[in-house]
Amino acid sequence: MSPQPLRADAARNARRIIDAAHEVFTAGGVAASMDDIATAAGVGVATLYRRFPHKQDLVRAVLEARFDEVLAPALARAASAPPRDGVYQALSAAVALAVAERPLFTAAGDLGALTMDLARRFFSPVAASVAAGQATGVFRADLVADDVPRLVLMLVGTLPSFPPSVPDGWRRYLDLVMDALSPVGASELAPPSAVADHTPRI
């Protein structure tokens, strides 16, 4: 059964809480208190706890809001673009969000709110774009869907190596990854392995 839609006033309160939590977690990370978030949202702490009983619930709601605001539109654009352009756009949006929201992702990881079910909302459509590119010869034929999350992890793994003065340094490595997906001059790959459920870390 689908959850009942919130009343208009409850929906407004939930949105204020999520927006305030985003600001507070960005500034203070996982140490931010629920009382601070309630104050920033202009609601009573009891109202906050009725909607989000645990800090983990609130961080997860903020993550889902950022996904809907940033990644969902990028995935929609990617789905209607030529496969290579679409995959580039989607991966670029994901890494840019990881850069912009580092404190939020860190808090989510610390609280166990960064789970694979949310990640799959991104990986599955990107894998579909990869498959579309394979069908037209744009991407190498030996790629599998489980390569997609690992490619993202590879890109995100470069982020700590860049100083603040080079916030877009990762784009060089996205270009390299895109070239590696090409069938031109492709080396034979070792066998693939499935991605195990885990708590992603950024």
Q: What is the pLDDT of residues 19-28, one digit of tens each?
A: 999 999 999 8
Domain 1-53 has CATH 1.10.10.60: yes
DSSP per position, 29-59: GGG--HHHHHHHHTS-HHHHHHH-SSHHHHH
Q: Which amino acid is at 73?
A: P
- Distance CA(66)–CA(58), nearest Å, equals 12
Q: Which amino acid is at 10?
A: A
Is 84 in a helix, a strand, or coil?
helix
Q: Output the pLDDT for position 12.
A: 85
CA angle 167, 199, 58 (to 5 degrees): 80
Is residue 201 scored above 60 in pLDDT? no
Q: Output the pLDDT for position 4.
A: 54
Q: Output the pLDDT for position 5.
A: 54
* Higher-confidence position of 71 and 198: 71
Write down the CATH superfamily of domain 60-197: Tetracycline Repressor, domain 2 (1.10.357.10)
Is residue 194 scored above 90 in pLDDT? no
Q: Output the pLDDT for position 196.
A: 73
Tokens coding 80: 């209607």
Q: Output the pLDDT for position 200.
A: 54
Q: Output the pLDDT for position 7.
A: 63
Lowest-confidence segment of 103-107, 131-135, 169-173, 184-188 by average pLDDT: 184-188
Going from N- to C-terminal start, the domains of the chain cover 1-53, 60-197
